[in-house]
Chains A and B, each alone.
Chain A
């Protein structure tokens, strides 16, 4: 009886080790024509196949939570030693305001370098992309500035996810949480 149990445990460990991280979602069938902050057209996720992709979802009119998400992406890239085989993406879910030039300014404010891009695109494309990665948004608060301009803000999902080299979502955490960089770095070090 005990030998049987040991055998089952060993088999379980073997299968677990062989199977790698659990696939949360497979984005292989998805294809979105989007733009980087430099107005370079890219197809997501096809153009990133063969490398890991760490994605955070943000909008630049968000002064508090989205910078935390961006800073967590920055910490992950830094703590991994700026690896060449991992692409970092900040995807805006507010494409009407977050044009490539706005995203370029945002990238400059955070002093980001290579393998770290921001993504925007046509409203319909970004909406479909957000649906495919289960990122929700809804217009919440609006305020009027002193010069009479109307500003709106969004309630939004708080998420950082990792795609493997086959465009499968294998890691997903709350994007702004302080513990997330350490968790993702540890996960990536185990599976890379």
Chain B
């Protein structure tokens, strides 16, 4: 009986500690989300870069989209000055443990959030560029949003992100 009481006391303490931990975790997360995104009343694209590649081959570009407006937006298309063929894709792991890739016709960007395009996840597939993409050069990306706005950014060609 005494043993059971001790057990219950310990369980209660564990539940209490877990609750405190969850509470603090949630608060911290909410805080970090707020801290991460400055309200700019605009869509901003930062930290862009593209991997080197040879003419006619395949490569990818990455960046972060921050939606500092009070309205949700959606990335619906992409263009670049190095090929007519650029698409939004996402890498993922299949159920049987293979690495795959799928076309993303659009990517929603909620108000006050950011979406990272990064290696192993969302990326812009640059299909068969018409010129060599050498380290130190740059390329232009046009990101087409459903808000009828197109963001144009120049991204450096480099082996990895900063």
Contacts and interface: CB of A to CB of B under 8 A. Distances in A.
A binds B: yes
B119 A64 contact: yes
A111 to B, nearest CB: 7
A16 interface: no
B127 A64 contact: no
Contacts of A67: 51, 59-60, 119
A176 B159 CA distance: 15
A111 B99 CA distance: 25
B58 A143 contact: no
Contact of B58 (A63, A141, A155, A176): A63
B150 interface: no
Contacts of A108: 54
Interface string B92-121: 011001111111000000000000000110
Interface string A53-83: 0000000111111011001000000000000
Contact of B119 (A68, A141, A146, A155): A68
Given A67-B119, A145-B127, A109 B53 contact: yes
B71 interface: no
Interface residues of A, number: 32
B142 to A, nearest CB: 15
Given A67-B119, A111-B135, A145 B99 contact: no
A64 B87 contact: no
A41 interface: no
A152 B125 CA distance: 13
B120 A136 contact: no
Contact of A155 (B57, B60, B99, B128): B99
A146 B80 CA distance: 13
A53 B53 CA distance: 26
A102 interface: yes
Interface string B134-150: 01000000000000000
6 contacts: A63-B51, A64-B60, A102-B57, A110-B159, A141-B103, A155-B94
The 10 closest A-B pairs by CB, nearest first: A63-B60, A155-B100, A155-B98, A105-B54, A146-B84, A63-B58, A158-B99, A145-B85, A65-B99, A64-B91
Interface of A: 60-65, 67-68, 71, 102, 105-106, 108-111, 136-138, 140-141, 143, 145-147, 151, 153, 155-158, 176
